[in-house]
Chain A
């Protein structure tokens, strides 16, 4: 990059104005619905256990504490507020993910996360549609089951396919030796990313829901159609993944087991294990109200609004210029 251009923002003035307008729209949307805006720490004592998320460690020296993590999502702090009786809340926050940079990724990005007490996943999907369609002026989304999407675009039934068949199906993208330790969910992620996702949400937005229980993350799981599925949903527009939501798991025992399973996966893939966020687990023990929550990428929402192909077009300073 030439020196004289390095100080300049990569987003146009118009995009920066649209960004401000988008924020105002979001705040107006939640004010109207009586959802409380909150702020929680970006610098947290604990990082995330999810094997596919890499936090960024911070060098902090305050009192006896010497380390911290830039948060990959405000989820645990917000759930502590929910357990404390805040009611429905939302937050616009900066979140951080190490190693993520591309046309659709920046290691630091703006996330809109909100929780609705008394909502199940279906009710929250309605509200996501209100927000997104209200801002983009798009049609209301279709809902497609994860299983149907994989069958339609990847020619496999994700619940019935054998490991062998699944690996064979991934061979257009990966060599057999690369597939050996990818695991079932890794294979499904590959097919989702390369075979399914590019086809999603072009005519109109589409929710994918009914994920396999192994991809539930922090969503509750129930049995339907003979297999366990997670009450988790994602919204896709023009082939772009926009948000991820759950009917939230409230069982502290189950949550601890999932954290421990995450750490087991981390051990197996040679990643450092993460200390469990005991404050979060204590809040769950105190009692998280029945609620659904969703995290939505605001930079991507703006990309859709402007028809941008690269996240740099909507960020004042992407990482290379930061």
Chain B
């Protein structure tokens, strides 16, 4: 496996530290005019999401972590694993466990495409697209005429996610949701 020396460190680099895959967030080069150089590095452990701060002597190196992001279509779940398939036509499938799916769970819709981060070939995490379109399966009855101002109510979506929506939304409508904030964006015109 390739390794990176301190002078190749940059944010975004994926490396192995204490056996865990990490992503470099910040890298500060520290060196007295005469004397030993160091790199002060902030990394996020991709297994635990914890942020670590470490110091390296100039010239030390870290092994590259075999971490890649792949576009995959969500297929189904058997309750234990969530199955994703590469969109490159290879039909290759990957089972992601609950820890990898984590917060993406409430945005998972069959046949939608997600970013699956693979570590040594196994799903490490699943990231939904910034926006998803989901159908309302339950909410209080819509209030006619109230289209513009004020007031929200909870609505349950087909994935089980509950989001606050305007009062005029009715069951069966498809909504556009921002997965980063979990907020309602707009109605999707049904064709």
Contacts and interface: CB of A to CB of B under 8 A. Distances in A.
Nearest to A186: B36
Contact of B36 (A99, A182, A295): A182
Contacts of B32: 189, 192-193, 197, 234, 241
A40 interface: no
Interface string A82-110: 00000000000000000111111100000
A270 B82 CA distance: 49
17 contacts: A52-B35, A100-B37, A101-B7, A101-B29, A102-B28, A102-B31, A103-B28, A174-B57, A178-B56, A186-B36, A189-B35, A190-B55, A194-B38, A194-B55, A197-B32, A234-B32, A241-B32
A217 B31 contact: no
A295 B33 CA distance: 10
- Which of A174, A234, A269 has the most chain B CB atoms inside 10 A of its CB? A174
Pairs A-B, 6 closest by C-beta atoms: A102-B29, A189-B35, A189-B36, A99-B7, A173-B55, A186-B36
A190 B56 CA distance: 10
Given A52-B37, A103-B28, A190-B55, 18 more contacts: A50-B34, A52-B35, A102-B31, A103-B29, A105-B29, A173-B55, A178-B57, A178-B60, A185-B35, A186-B35, A186-B36, A186-B57, A193-B35, A215-B35, A217-B34, A241-B33, A244-B33, A244-B34
A52 B36 contact: yes
Interface size class of A (residues with CB under 8 A): 20 to 34
Given A178-B60, A186-B57, A194 B30 contact: yes
Interface of B: 7, 28-38, 40, 55-60
B55 A52 contact: no
Contacts of B28: 102-103
- Which of B37, B40, B60 has the most chain A CB atoms inside 10 A of its CB? B37
Contacts of A50: 34
Nearest to B56: A178
Contacts of A178: 55-57, 60
Contacts of B30: 102, 193-194
